[in-house]
Chains A and B, each alone.
Chain A
Amino acid sequence: MRIKFSLFFHVSMIAVCVTPVAILLLLSFSKNWAFPVLLVDQFSSIAWNDLFSGGNDVRHSLLLSVLIATVVAFVATIIGFFVSKTIAYHTYRRQLLFLAYLPFVLSPVILAVCLKFYFIKLSLAGTVAGVIIAQLIIAIPYSIIFFTGFWNQRVKSFEHIVNTLGGTNIVALTSVIIPLSKPLLLVCFFQCFLISWFEYGLTSVIGYGKIQTLTIKVYQFLTEANIYYAALSCCLLIIPPVLLLWINKRIFLKYL
Chain B
Amino acid sequence: MKNKGTILSFTLLFIFAIIPLVAGLGYALLYSFGLVGVLNHGFTLQYWKQAFADQAIAISFLYSSSIAIISLLLSVISALLVALRYYQLLKKGIYTYLINLPLAFPPIVAAFFFFQFLSKGGVVSRAAFQVGITHTMQQFPDLVNDRLSIGIILAHCFLSFPFFLLLFTGLIKTQRLHDFFQIAESLGANKRQITFRVAIPLLIQKSLPNILLYFIFIFGAYEIPVLLGRSHPESVSVLAVRKLQKFNMLDIPQGYVIAVVYTIFVVLFILIFLKQKKLAYAN
What are 27 of the A-B contact pairs (CB < 8 Å)?
A9-B89, A20-B113, A23-B113, A23-B117, A24-B109, A36-B130, A38-B126, A79-B16, A86-B10, A98-B271, A100-B17, A102-B266, A103-B20, A105-B220, A106-B263, A113-B241, A117-B27, A118-B27, A137-B17, A141-B17, A169-B1, A215-B223, A234-B112, A237-B106, A238-B105, A238-B109, A245-B104
Closest chain-B Cβ to A149's Cβ sits at a distance in Å of: 10
Which of A107, A144, A222 is in CB contact (< 8 Å) with B17? A144
> Taking CB as reference atom, which chain A residue is nearest B263?
A106
Which B residues are closer than 8 A to A by beta carbons?
A: 1-2, 5-6, 8-10, 12-13, 16-18, 20-21, 23-25, 27-28, 82, 85-86, 89, 95-110, 112-113, 115-117, 121, 123, 125-127, 129-130, 137, 158, 161-162, 213, 216-217, 219-223, 227, 236-237, 240-241, 244-245, 255-256, 259, 262-263, 266-267, 270-271, 273-274, 278
Question: What is the CA–CA distance of A230 and B95 in the complex, to the nearest angstrom?
Answer: 28
The answer to the question of A176 belonging to the interface, with a C-beta cut-off of 8 Å to chain B, is no
Which of B24, B102, B161 is in CB contact (< 8 Å) with A111? B24
Given A18-B98, A24-B113, A107 and B236 touching (CB < 8 A)? yes
B115 contacts across to A, CB distance below 8 A: 222
- CB–CB A200/B27 < 8 A: no
B123 contacts across to A, CB distance below 8 A: 23, 38
| Most chain B beta-carbon contacts within 10 A, residue among A94, A101, A197, A222 | A101
- CB–CB B108/A103 < 8 A: no
The answer to the question of A198 belonging to the interface, with a C-beta cut-off of 8 Å to chain B, is yes
- CB–CB B112/A102 < 8 A: no
Which of A101, A136, A222 is in CB contact (< 8 Å) with B270? A101
> Taking CB as reference atom, which chain A residue is nearest B123?
A23
Number of interface residues of A (CB under 8 A): 69
Question: What is the CA–CA distance of A197 and B103 in the complex, to the nearest angstrom?
Answer: 13
Closest 6 CB pairs of A and B: A107-B220, A114-B24, A241-B104, A86-B9, A198-B106, A36-B129
